[in-house]
Amino acid sequence: MSKMHLGLSMRGIGYHPSGWRDPEVQLDGAIDIAHSISVAQIAEQGLFDFVFLADQSALNFNDEPKGAFGRNQEGAGEFEPITLLAALSQVTTHIGLIATASTTFHQPYQLARKFLSLDHLSGGRAGWNVVTSSRNAEAQNFGADAILPKNERYERAKEAIEVAFGLWECWEPDAYIRDRQNGFFFDPAKLHRLDHKGLNFRVRGPLTMPRSPQGRPVIAQAGASADGLDFAASVADIIYAVQTRMEGAKSFYTDTKARVLAKGRNPADVKVLPGLLPVVGSTMEEAQRKYRAMLTHLDPVLGLERLSRFFGDLTGCDLDGPLPDLRTDLPLVSRASLNLRIAREQNWTIRQLYEETIISHGHHVAIGTPEIIADEMQTWVQQGAADGFNIVPALLPQSLTDFVTHVVPELQRRNLFRTEYSAKTLREHLGLPAIKPPNRSHHESGE
């Protein structure tokens, strides 16, 4: 069996919105480069395929219910992902570096340039989590009042990726001859302009950098809607998923691989990585205790704030009473409806729903000993529910250290995970085939 792939969502001081109240968590860690370096290096010691930085282009201003605003550490003081990864590229040697950037707000020329630059800085370890964004607050930072409709955002994303892929191939692999003798730095016949003219973008090209050390940066995507899934199946190398049960994960996996095949691509060349939030203990009781202790830091008002994104303001509702109906006019409904379906099956109360989903952001929570967590990961991979996992840590670096110290060796013992890096680039870590340059006739004019 091929080995599993592991990524780390390394945002800030972890995903627990009140994690900063734990005395062991560094309060200003999210904006301290030493903290980020330490996290990336622990992930590299754990031989992770990559670290990944999620990102949104606006603060969450939601103050429903009143008093929630100002309590959430999420996004409130953190680095811009591409610049942070540029710094981390210099203190790591193997681990992949994936940043989020939105095609809704940025021009593809800029994006293609930045990611290719990160790829050169890191020796072929860059990846781009392509998002289309979803919030009006983000649009309001880029000259608009409201976010574009989803179908238009994905149309734009498709064209942006077409431009980026084109720009990344403007220079043939051997274009830079740097021939001192004859005085040619590059061979103009091996440089091609893009001259893209589309509905959303006009881009002449080329970029001012050679081709990527790994062919092109790796593309990650996490679409959940019909438009999003179609886009991911067309272009992504990594597809993130939110699945809390193996059965659901299996059907998502099978459906995604079928979509990839329908696009004329090899399903094995796209890695499906559901999120997993591990809580590791030396016994099941210790792990449960750890999890309950994390929840004690959680202010109920923050729990309700998170739920208000899907249900509207729940002020006045009985926290230990039944769940209301979903508001379909609010964004990110796909993830909420998955959690809600499970909540309804289990007869959860409002409190149970936010406690189950807030720290993990709706991802699967695996609580237990290293053996129990490894069992679960093994089963998901062997049953065709995942190619690996995107580890979502509650607290950083604590949750990562626990995972790397205890779960990684268990996975290695079972021959499910690498025991050393056998390659240098992210594309190679993921076992993806090399990107062949386009076939060109050399009479095409260069620049």
Ligand X SMILES: Cc1cc2nc3c(=O)[nH]c(=O)nc-3n(C[C@H](O)[C@H](O)[C@H](O)COP(=O)(O)O)c2cc1C
Residues lying near ligand X in the complex (CB under 6 A) are found at 54-56, 100, 129, 131-134, 222-225, 227-228, 240, 242, 275, 334, 390
Residue 26 token pair: 């560094």
Could you list the beta-strand ranges (E) of 348-398: 364-368, 388-391
Of residues 123, 121, 150, the one with CA closest to residue 134: 150
List Cα–Cα distances, 403 to 94, 173, 352, 411, in angstroms: 19, 40, 25, 11
Burial class (CB in 10 A: 0-12, 13-18, 19+), 154: buried
89 or 102: whose CB is closer to ligand X? 102
Min dist CB 232 to ligand X, Å, is 8
> How far apart are alpha carbons 227 and 210 in whole angstroms?
33
Q: Which is nearer to ligand X, 130 or 287 (CB)?
A: 130
Q: Which is nearer to ligand X, 131 or 314 (CB)?
A: 131
Closer to ligand X by CB, 177 or 226: give it: 226
Structure tokens at 251: 């059907």
Nearer to ligand X, 108 or 223 (CB): 223
Instruction: Please identify, using beta-carbon distances, which residue of 131 and 194 lies nearer to ligand X.
Output: 131
Rounded to the nearest whole angstrom, what is the least distance from the CB of residue 74 to ligand X in the complex?
11
Based on C-alpha coordinates, what's the Rg of the chain?
Answer: 22
Q: Name the minimum Å distance from CB 392 to ligand X.
A: 8
CA distance 39 to 52: 11
Give the pair of three-digit tokens for residue 240: 């993130």
Crossing angle between the packed helical segments 108-121 and 150-167, to the nearest 10 degrees: 50
Q: 268 vs 221, 431, 432, CA distance in Å?
A: 16, 9, 8
Q: Which is nearer to ligand X, 48 or 240 (CB)?
A: 240
Identify the residue whose tokens are 């990110």: 332
Minimum Å gap between C-beta 170 and ligand X is 28
Looking at beta carbons, which residue is closest to ligand X?
228
Q: State in angstroms the smallest separation of the CB of 224 from ligand X.
A: 4
Question: Please, which residues bridge with residue 98 across strands?
Answer: 52, 127
d(CA 389, CA 187): 43
CB of 155 to ligand X, least distance (A): 13
CB-CB contact of 215 with 427 (8 Å) = yes
Smallest separation, CB 90 to ligand X (Å): 23
Least distance CB 3 / ligand X (angstroms): 21
Q: 45: exposed, middle or buried (C-beta count within 10 Å: 0-12, 13-18, 19+)?
A: middle
110/334 with CB nearer ligand X: 334
Spatial distance between the Cα atoms of 275 and 240, rounded to a whole number of angstroms:
7
Min separation Cβ 271 and ligand X, Å: 13
**CB count, 10 Å around CB of 89?**
20
Which spans in 383-441 are helix H?
A: 398-402, 408-413, 426-429
**Whole-number minimum distance, CB 132 to ligand X, in Å?**
6
Q: Which is nearer to ligand X, 56 or 412 (CB)?
A: 56
User: Which residue carries 């622990």 as its tokens?
Assistant: 42
Decide whether 124 or 223 has the Cβ nearer to ligand X. 223
3-state SS class at 108: helix
